[in-house]
Structure 1
Amino acid sequence: MAIDREPERVYAVGDVHGCLDKLRRLEASIVADASGIAGEKIIVHLGDYIDRGPDSARVIDHLLSPAPEGFRRICLCGNHEALLLQALDDPETTAGWLAIGGVRTLESYGYDLEHMADAFRIGRIEAARRVLARLPAPHVAFLRALPVSFTTPARLFVHAGVRPGIALEQQSDHDLLWTRFLSAEPAGRSLLAGRCVVHGHTVTAMPFASNERVCVDTGAYRGSPLTAACFDGGPVRFLQAH
């Protein structure tokens, strides 16, 4: 997904992980921050809306609702959404998804896996598979439609990052969903057509910004703030909601 112009403002929101209250507060801060600004305004969500936190189902409901007035909302896929979809398509992978927070997602839809397993005399994994088959169709359609990247002339927005030393057109979906940066530098701006990489996925105590990349996953589900980066033509700014 790409546009050939720079919007007036872009706000990139880090990993939500079921933290609906923080998402609502951050969105309100974004709206206030952009008050009176004309031109195109975009909120880019960098993926990982589900798992670990308490309100995954309602987070998806929120993202399916209209964006704030005057804004366009773009939602990208995160590795947790990819794992849920994998579990839907290949039940043998369900246990792996549950192990990294999927249980909290199913609980957010009102299901108690342990109770189901006891009541129906089935295993916990089988109970999860039955719940997955009952997820609301609009939620599944939303997850399946999520793109893995969004590009503007100046920036590449992805969930996780890019594989070092690989040109943008050669990056796989797996690269964009799972890469963790171990240094300040990504693949090199020349390989990314001069773009700065904006990502979440790797939790940092404070948001990080350099000319090459910006990271906005500050661990909202751990009790830390939910962070957004603001790109408005000047130095990157950060907004947070506790």
Structure 2
Amino acid sequence: MFRRILNRRRERQPEQRAVAAWYDSRLYAIGDIHGRRDLLDDVLRQIETQEAQSDGAPSEIIFLGDLIDRGPDSADVVERVVQLRGSGRPVSVLLGNHEEIFLRILRGEFSLLPMFLKMGGRETVLSYGITREEYDTLSNQALAERLRVLVPHAHFALFNDCDVMVFRGDYAFVHAGIRPGVALADQKEEDLRWIRSPFLESNADHGRIIVHGHTVSEEPEMRANRIGIDTGAVYSDRLTVLGIDGTRRWLFESAKTPGNTARRRIA
């Protein structure tokens, strides 16, 4: 069983949700990174700049999952998140569907390796020091066993300790979404990491605003009942971040050129 659904202070029940969504401390939700350490470093620098321009206090960061696969630097991304968690800053990490498969392989489900590789896991495997010759010649089981040796314990511990849903004020943060019509406390973990159409097409009030990644959109999707911020970083060079402070919300993204840190203000 993965880490429990997490609740924090001053939380109202879903049926008491205010019209204007709120959270009483500043936080940043970071969308699907998929092995792009360069984009992660850029948005973290922007977060530090924003903090310095306000009260200087560190904000909470919530990673929405899918740190790994497809991009070239999965191991480096995971290491950066491990370091960030060890810095004393409040950090929450949600288990994405890509981390789920990777974790299951590290736990010994070697039969999942072909599926993992088709999902972009080849780049993850190579990022952990598997040579191209090993990748091309080892059997699936031998490759998985080699990977288990190379993945640092701290990375395995991070995956093993991920959250499945995080509540903050009027918001619930998940990787993929939730099953409409099912209470948040009764959601299945499979849906939280894999669901698409039933959630994306729903206009229902879910009790809290659901902040999620998983499904790529050209622009962040701001709906009355959900906020989707996966803008396909690995292909678009755009890693999107949602900032929340009280009733104020804003979006920004990785800057491809120095100084391109303009924010998009959301009411």
Aligned pairs (5 A) from 1:58-69: 58-66=76-84
Q: Does the alignment pair 1:198 with 2:217?
A: no
Aligned pairs (5 A) from 1:29-178: 29-35=46-52, 36-37=54-55, 41-66=59-84, 71-89=89-107, 90-113=109-132, 115-116=133-134, 122-123=138-139, 125-134=140-149, 135-178=151-194
Q: Does the alignment pair 1:231 with 2:244?
A: yes
1:71 Cα shift? 4.1
- SS at the partner of 2:46? helix
Give distance in 2, aligned partners of 1:178 and 1:4. Answer: 28
- SS at the partner of 2:246? coil
1:88 Cα shift? 2.3
Give distance in 2, aligned partners of 1:161 and 1:81. Answer: 16
Give distance in 1, aligned partners of 2:47 and 2:135. Answer: 43
Give distance in 1, aligned partners of 2:176 and 2:49. Answer: 28
1:208 Cα shift? 1.1
Distance 1:181 1:39, change over 3 A: farther
Distance 1:7 1:75, change over 3 A: farther
Deviations 1:29-67 (A, max 9, x none): 112123323777211100000100010101111001135
Give distance in 2, aligned partners of 1:68 and 1:52. Answer: 26
Deviations 1:142-185 (A, max 9, x none): 11111111102310001110012211122111110011146756
Deviations 1:189-238 (A, max 9, x none): 3xx4x310000000000011122110110001013300001112345310
In structure 2, the residue matched to 1:2 is 7
- SS at the partner of 1:141? helix
1:111 Cα shift? 1.1
1:126 Cα shift? 3.1
1:112 Cα shift? 2.4
Give distance in 1, aligned partners of 2:216 and 2:83. Answer: 27
Aligned partners of 1:57 and 1:105 also within 8 Å: yes
Give distance in 2, aligned partners of 1:40 and 1:188. Answer: 34
Give distance in 2, aligned partners of 1:183 and 1:149. Answer: 15
- The residue identity in structure 1 corresponding to 2:176 is A
Give distance in 2, aligned partners of 1:117 and 1:20. Answer: 22
Deviations 1:121-148 (A, max 9, x none): 643x234212222121111111111111
Aligned residue pairs: how many?
235
Aligned partners of 1:14 and 1:46 also within 8 Å: yes
- SS at the partner of 1:21? helix
Q: Which consecutive unaligned segments of at least 5 residues does structure 1 have?
A: none
Give distance in 2, aligned partners of 1:48 and 1:183. Answer: 19
- SS at the partner of 1:86? helix
Distance 1:229 1:117, change over 3 A: closer
CA RMSD of aligned residues (A): 2.3
